[in-house]
Amino acid sequence: MHTIEPYYNWREHYVANEDPRSPFFDREYSEFEFSRALYDHLIHPQWDDFGSATLFIKVLYADYSDGFCVIEMMGEWNDCLHNDIMLLKRDIVEPLMMEGISRFVLIGENVLNFHESDDCYYEEWFEEVEDEEGWVALVNFREHVLEDFEKANVDSYFVLGGKLNELGWRTLTPRQVYENVSKHVQKRLGPLI
């Protein structure tokens, strides 16, 4: 686990801890001190802790003028024990929305599991971004995690599946990722957005 680090090639475009509008502004990181763990596995120190015991994120890019951000995720998304969606919604999503972000690209290839609770925060997030003509898209989540979202009936709050599960996002710029995801969202949602 300690070798899985957040994607770093976009640092020339954006660095969350240098952005005064970011929830992670002024956060300091170590390259060598591994102080956080996912269960009994140390994780790379560049991942951001937002209060969850098992889920970590990195805001890879935020564009306030166009209202989108890209967030990479790693760990276990556990609403049942840790209410991760509440922490994510209140401490990360809401501050970003207050800065004008209404389109969220969540990259989940390192999300290992999902454990459900109720859907209140998903519904709230969906309604708030919908009011701003926004959306939440899941990119490259593992198939079993998407199936768990479906079983919990929270999949309807996201745009997911299809080409979004095969996006080679690391070869693209942040703008290209957003444009690719946005095209897919427009096809899926059609005249609703």
- Is residue 7 assigned to a domain? no
Cβ proximity of 48 and 72 under 8 Å: no
Residues contacting residue 70 through CB under 8 Å, at least 6 positions apart: 59, 60, 61, 62, 105, 107, 174, 177, 178
- Average confidence (pLDDT) over 37-48: 83
- Give 16-34 as a DSSP string: GGG-TTSTTTT----SS--
- Is residue 27 assigned to a domain? yes
Residues contacting residue 187 through CB under 8 Å, at least 6 positions apart: none
- Is residue 23 assigned to a domain? yes
- Is residue 93 assigned to a domain? yes
Give pTM, 2 decimals.
Answer: 0.94
- Is residue 6 assigned to a domain? no
pLDDT, one tens digit per residue, over 93-131 is: 999 999 999 999 999 999 999 999 999 999 999 999 999
Quote the pLDDT of residue 38.
81
- From the number of C-beta atoms within 10 Å of its C-beta (0-12, 13-18, 19+), residue 71 rates as buried
Residues contacting residue 117 through CB under 8 Å, at least 6 positions apart: 79, 80, 83, 85
- From the number of C-beta atoms within 10 Å of its C-beta (0-12, 13-18, 19+), residue 28 rates as exposed
- Is residue 90 assigned to a domain? yes
Going by DSSP bridges, is the β-strand pair 68-78/103-115 parallel, antiparallel, or unpaired? parallel
Q: Give the number of domains in the chain.
A: 1
Q: Name the average pLDDT for the chain.
A: 92
- The residue segments making up the domain with residue 77 are 16-35+49-186
- Is residue 8 assigned to a domain? no
Q: What's the CATH code of the domain at 53? A: 3.30.750.24
- Is residue 2 assigned to a domain? no
* pLDDT of 181 over the 50 cut: yes
